[in-house]
Chain A
Amino acid sequence: MLEAADLGLTISGVLETHVHADFISCARELAEMNGCPHYVGERARDYVSYDFAPISDGQVLKLGQVRVEAIATPGHTPEHTAFLITDAARSEDPWCVLTGDSLFVGDVGRPDLLVGDSQFDVMDEAQRAEWQWLSIREKLFTLPDHVEVYPNHYGGSTCGGVNMSGKPSSTIWFEKHHNLAPAQAGPAAFAAFLRETAKPLPDNYTRIKSINLGLLEAEPVS
Protein backbone atom coordinates (compact mmCIF):
# COMPACT_ATOMS: atom_id res chain seq x y z
CA MET A 1 0.00 0.00 0.00
CA LEU A 2 2.91 2.31 0.85
CA GLU A 3 4.63 1.38 -2.41
CA ALA A 4 1.50 2.41 -4.35
CA ALA A 5 1.15 5.63 -2.36
CA ASP A 6 4.82 6.45 -3.03
CA LEU A 7 3.98 6.42 -6.75
CA GLY A 8 0.82 8.48 -6.30
CA LEU A 9 -1.29 5.48 -7.26
CA THR A 10 -4.62 4.39 -5.85
CA ILE A 11 -5.15 0.63 -5.49
CA SER A 12 -8.24 -0.09 -7.58
CA GLY A 13 -8.10 -3.89 -7.56
CA VAL A 14 -6.17 -6.80 -6.06
CA LEU A 15 -5.40 -9.69 -8.44
CA GLU A 16 -4.40 -13.13 -7.25
CA THR A 17 -3.06 -15.71 -9.68
CA HIS A 18 -4.30 -18.44 -7.32
CA VAL A 19 -5.03 -19.30 -3.71
CA HIS A 20 -1.55 -19.77 -2.25
CA ALA A 21 -0.29 -22.65 -0.13
CA ASP A 22 3.12 -21.28 0.86
CA PHE A 23 2.30 -17.88 2.43
CA ILE A 24 -0.67 -16.07 3.99
CA SER A 25 -1.55 -13.67 1.20
CA CYS A 26 -3.50 -10.85 2.97
CA ALA A 27 -5.08 -10.07 -0.44
CA ARG A 28 -8.55 -10.02 1.12
CA GLU A 29 -7.49 -7.55 3.79
CA LEU A 30 -5.72 -5.34 1.20
CA ALA A 31 -8.85 -5.25 -0.99
CA GLU A 32 -11.11 -4.50 1.99
CA MET A 33 -8.89 -1.70 3.22
CA ASN A 34 -8.83 -0.08 -0.22
CA GLY A 35 -12.52 -0.71 -0.91
CA CYS A 36 -11.68 -2.43 -4.21
CA PRO A 37 -12.42 -5.80 -5.84
CA HIS A 38 -10.37 -8.91 -5.02
CA TYR A 39 -10.05 -10.89 -8.26
CA VAL A 40 -9.47 -14.65 -8.23
CA GLY A 41 -10.01 -17.17 -11.04
CA GLU A 42 -13.67 -18.13 -11.21
CA ARG A 43 -13.04 -21.82 -10.46
CA ALA A 44 -12.20 -20.81 -6.87
CA ARG A 45 -15.97 -20.39 -6.33
CA ASP A 46 -16.07 -24.11 -5.61
CA TYR A 47 -13.91 -23.97 -2.51
CA VAL A 48 -13.21 -20.39 -1.30
CA SER A 49 -15.40 -19.41 1.66
CA TYR A 50 -15.41 -15.59 1.25
CA ASP A 51 -16.72 -13.18 -1.41
CA PHE A 52 -14.37 -12.29 -4.25
CA ALA A 53 -14.66 -10.98 -7.81
CA PRO A 54 -14.44 -14.04 -10.06
CA ILE A 55 -12.30 -13.45 -13.15
CA SER A 56 -12.74 -15.63 -16.23
CA ASP A 57 -10.53 -16.62 -19.16
CA GLY A 58 -10.17 -13.76 -21.64
CA GLN A 59 -11.61 -11.12 -19.31
CA VAL A 60 -9.84 -7.75 -19.71
CA LEU A 61 -9.34 -5.10 -17.01
CA LYS A 62 -8.57 -1.60 -18.31
CA LEU A 63 -6.24 0.64 -16.30
CA GLY A 64 -5.87 3.80 -18.35
CA GLN A 65 -3.66 2.82 -21.29
CA VAL A 66 -2.80 -0.52 -19.72
CA ARG A 67 -4.83 -3.67 -20.33
CA VAL A 68 -4.69 -6.74 -18.11
CA GLU A 69 -6.05 -9.89 -19.76
CA ALA A 70 -6.81 -12.98 -17.68
CA ILE A 71 -5.56 -16.29 -19.07
CA ALA A 72 -7.01 -19.30 -17.24
CA THR A 73 -3.98 -21.55 -16.60
CA PRO A 74 -5.18 -24.40 -14.36
CA GLY A 75 -2.60 -26.93 -13.18
CA HIS A 76 -0.79 -25.77 -10.04
CA THR A 77 -4.32 -25.13 -8.75
CA PRO A 78 -7.68 -25.36 -10.57
CA GLU A 79 -8.42 -21.58 -10.42
CA HIS A 80 -4.91 -20.54 -11.48
CA THR A 81 -4.89 -17.47 -13.77
CA ALA A 82 -2.01 -15.73 -15.57
CA PHE A 83 -2.24 -12.05 -16.51
CA LEU A 84 -1.09 -10.68 -19.87
CA ILE A 85 -0.12 -6.99 -19.77
CA THR A 86 -0.36 -4.62 -22.72
CA ASP A 87 0.65 -0.96 -22.47
CA ALA A 88 -1.07 0.82 -25.37
CA ALA A 89 0.91 3.98 -24.61
CA ARG A 90 3.80 2.22 -26.34
CA SER A 91 2.27 -0.57 -28.42
CA GLU A 92 -0.73 -2.78 -29.01
CA ASP A 93 1.68 -5.74 -28.75
CA PRO A 94 1.56 -7.39 -25.33
CA TRP A 95 4.54 -6.58 -23.14
CA CYS A 96 4.72 -9.20 -20.41
CA VAL A 97 2.84 -12.00 -18.74
CA LEU A 98 2.55 -12.55 -15.01
CA THR A 99 2.61 -16.32 -14.99
CA GLY A 100 2.09 -16.92 -11.27
CA ASP A 101 2.85 -20.57 -10.51
CA SER A 102 2.24 -21.90 -14.01
CA LEU A 103 5.42 -21.21 -16.01
CA PHE A 104 8.58 -20.44 -14.03
CA VAL A 105 12.03 -19.57 -15.36
CA GLY A 106 13.51 -23.01 -16.07
CA ASP A 107 10.68 -24.93 -14.39
CA VAL A 108 6.91 -25.08 -13.86
CA GLY A 109 4.57 -24.91 -10.85
CA ARG A 110 4.13 -28.23 -9.06
CA PRO A 111 0.77 -29.94 -9.60
CA ASP A 112 0.85 -32.12 -6.48
CA LEU A 113 -0.02 -29.81 -3.54
CA LEU A 114 -3.13 -30.85 -1.63
CA VAL A 115 -4.42 -33.12 -4.35
CA GLY A 116 -7.09 -35.58 -3.37
CA ASP A 117 -8.41 -33.40 -0.53
CA SER A 118 -11.94 -32.58 -1.69
CA GLN A 119 -12.13 -29.65 0.71
CA PHE A 120 -9.49 -27.85 -1.33
CA ASP A 121 -9.58 -29.26 -4.77
CA VAL A 122 -11.48 -30.85 -7.60
CA MET A 123 -8.68 -32.52 -9.57
CA ASP A 124 -6.28 -35.38 -9.00
CA GLU A 125 -2.55 -35.10 -9.56
CA ALA A 126 -2.54 -36.62 -13.06
CA GLN A 127 -5.38 -34.35 -14.15
CA ARG A 128 -3.63 -31.30 -12.71
CA ALA A 129 -0.35 -32.23 -14.41
CA GLU A 130 -2.21 -32.58 -17.69
CA TRP A 131 -3.91 -29.21 -17.23
CA GLN A 132 -0.55 -27.62 -16.37
CA TRP A 133 0.91 -29.15 -19.56
CA LEU A 134 -1.97 -27.74 -21.64
CA SER A 135 -1.90 -24.33 -19.90
CA ILE A 136 1.79 -23.92 -20.70
CA ARG A 137 1.94 -25.56 -24.13
CA GLU A 138 -1.40 -24.50 -25.62
CA LYS A 139 -1.84 -21.11 -23.96
CA LEU A 140 1.35 -19.46 -22.68
CA PHE A 141 3.58 -20.84 -25.45
CA THR A 142 1.21 -19.46 -28.11
CA LEU A 143 1.96 -15.90 -26.93
CA PRO A 144 4.42 -13.92 -29.08
CA ASP A 145 8.07 -14.90 -28.51
CA HIS A 146 9.09 -11.45 -27.27
CA VAL A 147 6.64 -11.46 -24.34
CA GLU A 148 8.50 -11.19 -21.04
CA VAL A 149 7.73 -13.79 -18.38
CA TYR A 150 7.41 -12.71 -14.75
CA PRO A 151 6.56 -15.64 -12.46
CA ASN A 152 5.61 -15.60 -8.77
CA HIS A 153 8.79 -17.40 -7.69
CA TYR A 154 12.38 -18.00 -8.60
CA GLY A 155 15.33 -19.73 -6.99
CA GLY A 156 14.62 -21.90 -3.98
CA SER A 157 10.83 -21.73 -3.78
CA THR A 158 9.15 -25.05 -3.00
CA CYS A 159 6.33 -24.28 -5.47
CA GLY A 160 8.53 -25.53 -8.31
CA GLY A 161 11.15 -28.24 -8.73
CA VAL A 162 14.94 -28.41 -8.74
CA ASN A 163 15.30 -26.78 -12.16
CA MET A 164 13.86 -23.42 -11.10
CA SER A 165 16.28 -20.66 -12.06
CA GLY A 166 17.59 -17.94 -9.79
CA LYS A 167 16.80 -15.47 -12.56
CA PRO A 168 13.56 -13.60 -11.82
CA SER A 169 12.30 -13.11 -15.40
CA SER A 170 12.62 -14.55 -18.90
CA THR A 171 10.79 -14.51 -22.25
CA ILE A 172 8.33 -16.88 -23.92
CA TRP A 173 10.95 -17.72 -26.60
CA PHE A 174 13.64 -18.62 -24.10
CA GLU A 175 11.33 -20.84 -22.02
CA LYS A 176 9.93 -22.52 -25.15
CA HIS A 177 13.48 -23.44 -26.13
CA HIS A 178 15.20 -24.09 -22.80
CA ASN A 179 12.63 -25.11 -20.17
CA LEU A 180 13.00 -28.88 -19.63
CA ALA A 181 9.55 -29.77 -18.22
CA PRO A 182 7.33 -28.59 -21.10
CA ALA A 183 9.89 -30.09 -23.53
CA GLN A 184 8.93 -33.63 -22.40
CA ALA A 185 7.25 -35.93 -24.93
CA GLY A 186 3.68 -35.54 -23.60
CA PRO A 187 1.55 -35.00 -20.49
CA ALA A 188 2.40 -38.38 -18.93
CA ALA A 189 6.16 -37.87 -19.37
CA PHE A 190 5.69 -34.30 -18.09
CA ALA A 191 3.96 -35.60 -14.92
CA ALA A 192 6.70 -38.19 -14.36
CA PHE A 193 9.41 -35.56 -14.90
CA LEU A 194 7.79 -33.26 -12.31
CA ARG A 195 7.64 -36.06 -9.72
CA GLU A 196 11.33 -36.84 -10.26
CA THR A 197 12.44 -33.23 -10.01
CA ALA A 198 10.12 -32.15 -7.17
CA LYS A 199 11.40 -30.43 -4.05
CA PRO A 200 10.16 -31.27 -0.53
CA LEU A 201 6.66 -29.99 0.26
CA PRO A 202 6.36 -26.47 1.73
CA ASP A 203 6.05 -26.19 5.53
CA ASN A 204 2.56 -25.81 7.01
CA TYR A 205 0.99 -25.72 3.56
CA THR A 206 -2.31 -27.28 4.63
CA ARG A 207 -2.78 -24.67 7.34
CA ILE A 208 -1.67 -21.78 5.08
CA LYS A 209 -4.00 -22.89 2.29
CA SER A 210 -6.87 -23.13 4.79
CA ILE A 211 -6.25 -19.56 5.96
CA ASN A 212 -6.10 -18.25 2.38
CA LEU A 213 -9.34 -20.07 1.57
CA GLY A 214 -11.00 -18.39 4.55
CA LEU A 215 -11.50 -21.71 6.36
CA LEU A 216 -9.16 -20.86 9.24
CA GLU A 217 -8.29 -17.61 11.02
CA ALA A 218 -4.65 -16.53 11.01
CA GLU A 219 -3.16 -16.10 14.48
CA PRO A 220 -1.63 -12.69 15.10
CA VAL A 221 2.16 -12.68 15.44
CA SER A 222 2.98 -12.00 19.09
Chain B
Amino acid sequence: MSPQEVVAALGQGAVVLDMRPPRPFATAHLPGAVNLQFNRADLADRAEMVLPTDVPYTVHAEPDPIARVAEQILCGVGFRVLGNLAGGLRAWRDAGQRVEELPVIDVDQLHLDLSAYEVVDVREGYEYRHGHIAGAALLPSSEAWERASATRGEKPLAVVCGDQVRSSLVASILLRHGKEALLVFGGMVDWLERGFEVEKSQPLAKPS
Protein backbone atom coordinates (compact mmCIF):
# COMPACT_ATOMS: atom_id res chain seq x y z
CA MET B 1 0.00 0.00 0.00
CA SER B 2 1.19 3.53 -0.71
CA PRO B 3 1.28 6.02 2.20
CA GLN B 4 -1.88 7.62 0.74
CA GLU B 5 -3.69 4.26 0.77
CA VAL B 6 -2.62 3.71 4.39
CA VAL B 7 -3.93 7.18 5.31
CA ALA B 8 -7.25 6.30 3.69
CA ALA B 9 -7.37 2.99 5.60
CA LEU B 10 -6.66 4.79 8.88
CA GLY B 11 -9.58 7.08 8.06
CA GLN B 12 -11.79 3.98 7.77
CA GLY B 13 -10.75 2.81 11.25
CA ALA B 14 -7.85 0.51 10.35
CA VAL B 15 -5.21 -0.11 13.00
CA VAL B 16 -1.55 -0.10 11.99
CA LEU B 17 0.38 -3.09 13.33
CA ASP B 18 4.03 -2.05 13.59
CA MET B 19 6.12 -5.23 13.58
CA ARG B 20 9.53 -3.64 14.14
CA PRO B 21 11.45 -4.08 17.42
CA PRO B 22 10.53 -1.68 20.26
CA ARG B 23 13.52 0.68 19.87
CA PRO B 24 12.82 1.84 16.31
CA PHE B 25 9.09 1.81 17.09
CA ALA B 26 9.61 4.14 20.06
CA THR B 27 11.68 6.53 17.97
CA ALA B 28 9.04 7.02 15.26
CA HIS B 29 5.91 5.19 14.19
CA LEU B 30 2.70 5.76 12.26
CA PRO B 31 -0.03 7.55 14.26
CA GLY B 32 -1.90 5.18 16.54
CA ALA B 33 0.26 2.18 15.58
CA VAL B 34 0.30 -0.89 17.82
CA ASN B 35 3.75 -2.45 18.32
CA LEU B 36 3.57 -6.22 17.85
CA GLN B 37 7.13 -7.40 17.20
CA PHE B 38 7.49 -9.89 14.36
CA ASN B 39 8.59 -13.46 14.66
CA ARG B 40 7.36 -16.48 12.77
CA ALA B 41 7.20 -18.87 15.71
CA ASP B 42 4.35 -17.32 17.69
CA LEU B 43 3.17 -14.13 15.98
CA ALA B 44 -0.23 -15.71 15.31
CA ASP B 45 -0.64 -16.79 18.96
CA ARG B 46 0.41 -13.42 20.37
CA ALA B 47 -1.88 -11.55 17.96
CA GLU B 48 -4.83 -13.75 18.90
CA MET B 49 -4.11 -13.26 22.61
CA VAL B 50 -4.12 -9.48 22.42
CA LEU B 51 -5.93 -8.12 19.36
CA PRO B 52 -9.61 -8.11 18.37
CA THR B 53 -10.52 -9.70 15.02
CA ASP B 54 -13.36 -7.28 14.24
CA VAL B 55 -11.19 -4.35 13.16
CA PRO B 56 -9.18 -4.08 9.92
CA TYR B 57 -5.38 -3.91 10.11
CA THR B 58 -2.52 -2.53 8.05
CA VAL B 59 0.94 -3.99 8.51
CA HIS B 60 4.13 -1.95 8.83
CA ALA B 61 7.31 -4.07 8.93
CA GLU B 62 10.76 -3.54 7.47
CA PRO B 63 12.10 -4.51 5.03
CA ASP B 64 9.02 -5.15 2.88
CA PRO B 65 9.41 -8.96 2.58
CA ILE B 66 8.93 -9.27 6.36
CA ALA B 67 5.67 -7.35 6.04
CA ARG B 68 4.39 -9.77 3.41
CA VAL B 69 5.18 -12.78 5.62
CA ALA B 70 3.52 -11.10 8.62
CA GLU B 71 0.43 -10.39 6.53
CA GLN B 72 0.18 -14.06 5.48
CA ILE B 73 0.55 -15.25 9.07
CA LEU B 74 -2.17 -12.90 10.37
CA CYS B 75 -4.58 -13.62 7.51
CA GLY B 76 -4.02 -17.33 8.16
CA VAL B 77 -5.60 -17.04 11.61
CA GLY B 78 -8.52 -14.89 10.53
CA PHE B 79 -7.38 -11.29 10.95
CA ARG B 80 -8.56 -8.85 8.28
CA VAL B 81 -5.36 -7.32 6.90
CA LEU B 82 -5.85 -4.67 4.21
CA GLY B 83 -2.19 -4.69 3.14
CA ASN B 84 1.21 -3.44 4.13
CA LEU B 85 3.01 -0.12 3.85
CA ALA B 86 5.45 -0.40 0.91
CA GLY B 87 8.80 1.24 1.54
CA GLY B 88 8.36 1.49 5.31
CA LEU B 89 8.89 4.59 7.40
CA ARG B 90 11.05 6.24 4.77
CA ALA B 91 8.22 6.16 2.22
CA TRP B 92 5.78 7.42 4.89
CA ARG B 93 8.02 10.37 5.76
CA ASP B 94 8.82 11.12 2.11
CA ALA B 95 5.07 11.45 1.58
CA GLY B 96 5.08 14.19 4.22
CA GLN B 97 3.13 12.14 6.75
CA ARG B 98 3.27 12.70 10.50
CA VAL B 99 4.91 10.25 12.93
CA GLU B 100 4.46 9.72 16.66
CA GLU B 101 6.91 8.55 19.30
CA LEU B 102 6.79 6.54 22.50
CA PRO B 103 8.91 8.03 25.32
CA VAL B 104 11.48 5.60 26.72
CA ILE B 105 13.15 5.43 30.15
CA ASP B 106 15.49 2.80 31.57
CA VAL B 107 15.24 1.06 34.94
CA ASP B 108 17.78 3.43 36.53
CA GLN B 109 15.59 6.44 35.71
CA LEU B 110 12.51 4.60 36.94
CA HIS B 111 14.20 3.56 40.19
CA LEU B 112 15.53 7.06 40.82
CA ASP B 113 12.16 8.72 40.38
CA LEU B 114 9.73 5.90 41.14
CA SER B 115 7.12 8.10 42.85
CA ALA B 116 6.76 10.19 39.70
CA TYR B 117 5.21 7.26 37.83
CA GLU B 118 2.34 4.83 37.99
CA VAL B 119 4.04 1.49 37.24
CA VAL B 120 1.99 -0.82 35.03
CA ASP B 121 3.28 -4.42 34.86
CA VAL B 122 1.98 -6.12 31.71
CA ARG B 123 3.26 -9.63 32.31
CA GLU B 124 0.88 -12.43 33.16
CA GLY B 125 -0.24 -12.93 36.75
CA TYR B 126 2.09 -15.87 37.39
CA GLU B 127 5.09 -13.76 36.44
CA TYR B 128 3.90 -10.75 38.43
CA ARG B 129 3.41 -12.76 41.62
CA HIS B 130 6.94 -14.12 41.36
CA GLY B 131 8.35 -10.62 41.87
CA HIS B 132 7.25 -7.14 40.80
CA ILE B 133 8.05 -3.50 41.49
CA ALA B 134 6.35 -2.34 44.70
CA GLY B 135 2.99 -0.77 43.96
CA ALA B 136 2.91 -1.89 40.33
CA ALA B 137 -0.56 -2.39 38.86
CA LEU B 138 -1.07 -5.66 36.97
CA LEU B 139 -2.42 -5.30 33.44
CA PRO B 140 -1.63 -8.52 31.52
CA SER B 141 -1.04 -7.83 27.83
CA SER B 142 -3.79 -10.33 27.02
CA GLU B 143 -6.32 -7.97 28.67
CA ALA B 144 -4.82 -4.68 27.53
CA TRP B 145 -7.07 -4.04 24.52
CA GLU B 146 -10.28 -4.28 26.64
CA ARG B 147 -8.97 -2.57 29.75
CA ALA B 148 -6.80 0.21 28.26
CA SER B 149 -9.49 2.90 28.31
CA ALA B 150 -10.32 2.12 31.96
CA THR B 151 -6.66 2.33 33.04
CA ARG B 152 -6.27 5.47 35.04
CA GLY B 153 -3.44 7.20 36.78
CA GLU B 154 -2.71 10.64 38.14
CA LYS B 155 0.85 10.17 36.93
CA PRO B 156 2.47 9.02 33.69
CA LEU B 157 2.20 5.25 33.21
CA ALA B 158 5.59 3.50 33.25
CA VAL B 159 4.96 0.24 31.40
CA VAL B 160 7.09 -2.77 32.36
CA CYS B 161 7.39 -6.40 31.24
CA GLY B 162 10.28 -8.91 31.30
CA ASP B 163 12.20 -6.96 28.65
CA GLN B 164 10.47 -4.48 26.33
CA VAL B 165 8.43 -6.48 23.84
CA ARG B 166 5.09 -6.84 25.63
CA SER B 167 5.55 -3.49 27.40
CA SER B 168 5.96 -1.71 24.07
CA LEU B 169 2.84 -3.49 22.80
CA VAL B 170 0.73 -2.43 25.78
CA ALA B 171 2.24 1.08 25.93
CA SER B 172 1.29 1.55 22.27
CA ILE B 173 -2.28 0.44 23.04
CA LEU B 174 -2.42 2.86 26.00
CA LEU B 175 -1.16 5.68 23.75
CA ARG B 176 -3.97 4.89 21.29
CA HIS B 177 -6.40 5.46 24.14
CA GLY B 178 -4.90 8.87 24.88
CA LYS B 179 -3.01 7.76 28.00
CA GLU B 180 0.38 9.18 28.89
CA ALA B 181 2.52 6.03 28.68
CA LEU B 182 6.28 5.47 28.78
CA LEU B 183 8.23 2.36 27.86
CA VAL B 184 10.63 1.04 30.52
CA PHE B 185 13.34 -0.40 28.26
CA GLY B 186 15.03 -3.53 29.66
CA GLY B 187 12.13 -4.30 32.01
CA MET B 188 12.32 -6.65 34.98
CA VAL B 189 15.45 -8.40 33.67
CA ASP B 190 17.40 -5.14 34.03
CA TRP B 191 15.60 -4.23 37.27
CA LEU B 192 16.66 -7.52 38.90
CA GLU B 193 20.15 -7.35 37.43
CA ARG B 194 20.63 -3.98 39.16
CA GLY B 195 19.60 -5.63 42.42
CA PHE B 196 16.59 -3.34 42.90
CA GLU B 197 13.93 -4.54 45.31
CA VAL B 198 10.91 -6.54 44.27
CA GLU B 199 7.71 -7.41 46.08
CA LYS B 200 6.26 -10.91 45.97
CA SER B 201 2.57 -11.71 46.11
CA GLN B 202 0.91 -14.78 47.58
CA PRO B 203 0.43 -17.48 44.98
CA LEU B 204 -3.17 -18.19 44.15
CA ALA B 205 -4.62 -20.96 46.28
CA LYS B 206 -4.70 -24.27 44.49
CA PRO B 207 -8.23 -25.39 43.69
CA SER B 208 -9.08 -28.20 46.11
Report which A residues bind B (CB closer than 8 A). Answer: 1-2, 5-10, 33-34
- Is B165 on the interface with A (CB-CB < 8 A)? yes
Across the interface, do B66 and A7 meet the contact criterion of CB distance under 8 Å?
A: no
Closest 4 CB pairs of A and B: A6-B39, A8-B21, A5-B66, A33-B63
Instruction: Mark interface residues in B153-191 (1 if CB within 8 Å of A CB, else 0).
Output: 000000000000100000000000000000000000000
> Which residues of chain B come closer than 8 Å to A33, judged between CB atoms?
63-65
> Which residues of chain B come closer than 8 Å to A10, judged between CB atoms?
20-21, 24
Total residues of chain B contacting the partner, CB 8 A: 16
Neighbour of B61 across the interface among A5, A6, A7, A9, CB < 8 A: A5
> Which residues of chain A come closer than 8 Å to B41, judged between CB atoms?
6
Given A6-B41, A7-B39, 16 other A-B contacts at CB below 8 A?
A1-B63, A1-B65, A2-B66, A5-B19, A5-B38, A5-B39, A6-B38, A6-B39, A6-B40, A8-B21, A8-B37, A8-B39, A8-B165, A9-B21, A10-B20, A33-B64
> Which residues of chain A come closer than 8 Å to B99, judged between CB atoms?
none
The chain A residue sitting closest to B37, CB to CB, is A8
- Is B69 on the interface with A (CB-CB < 8 A)? yes
Across the interface, do B63 and A34 meet the contact criterion of CB distance under 8 Å?
A: yes
> Which residues of chain A come closer than 8 Å to B61, judged between CB atoms?
5
Report the Cα distance A208→B74, complex, angstroms: 38
Closest-CB distance, B37 to chain A (whole angstroms): 6
Q: Contacts A8-B165, A10-B24 given: A1-B39 contact, CB under 8 Å?
A: no
Name B20-72 residues within 8 Å CB distance of A: 20-21, 24, 37-41, 61, 63-66, 69
> Which residues of chain B come closer than 8 Å to A2, judged between CB atoms?
40, 65-66, 69
Report the Cα distance A40→B64, complex, angstroms: 25
Closest-CB distance, A35 to chain B (whole angstroms): 8
Report the Cα distance A7→B19, complex, angstroms: 12
